[in-house]
Amino acid sequence: MLDRVKQLILDVPDFPKAGIVFKDITPLLGDAAAFGWVIDHLADRYKDAGLDAVVGMESRGFLFGTPLAIKLGLGFIPVRKPGKLPRAVHEVTYELEYGTDSLQIHKDALSPGQKVLIMDDVLATGGTAAATASLVRKTGSHIHELAFLMELAFLDGKSRLSGDSAFAILSY
């Protein structure tokens, strides 16, 4: 099934701008068997990890994190862009290639000492993942691992993760 998953992730050249090869996961999401396999594969990896929650970042982290949390019998905690969460939040601003961005998590979404998995679709430069890890630490929770469908290893995003463990099903 891993080969099927790989086949369903399509390369789209020059999107969103010239020189970038975008990895399109929408065909994978549309294939119930392959998408289900991804969630099952991740659930098998984390079923005995003693996790308390799955954290996913807007927006594609929601697509993988939510079904994974359900499969593991855990709650799902969203990390969102500013202005999307209605209560008191922790916020972190981080550097992008051209500028900055910010992410937020509800201050009461996690409790100190909880063990969490951070889930997203792709690890590229590591900025979003590192920012999310920073938010989780602000809640006093502990990061078990950061999980991804795929890693773009040539961008060396793991180097920005402050030593946190990271796992990806696929590596490019």
Q: Which residues are catalytic?
A: 60, 97
Give CA angle at 170 (72, 77), nearest 5°: 35
Return the residue matching tokens 């090869």: 21
Which residues lie below 8 Å from residue 163, measured CB to CB, with a gap of 6+? none
Helical axes 60-72 vs 32-46, angle rounded to 10°: 60
Strands (E), 25-141: 53-57, 75-79, 89-96, 99-106, 115-123
Are 60 and 35 contacting, i.e. CB atoms less than 8 angstroms apart? Answer: no
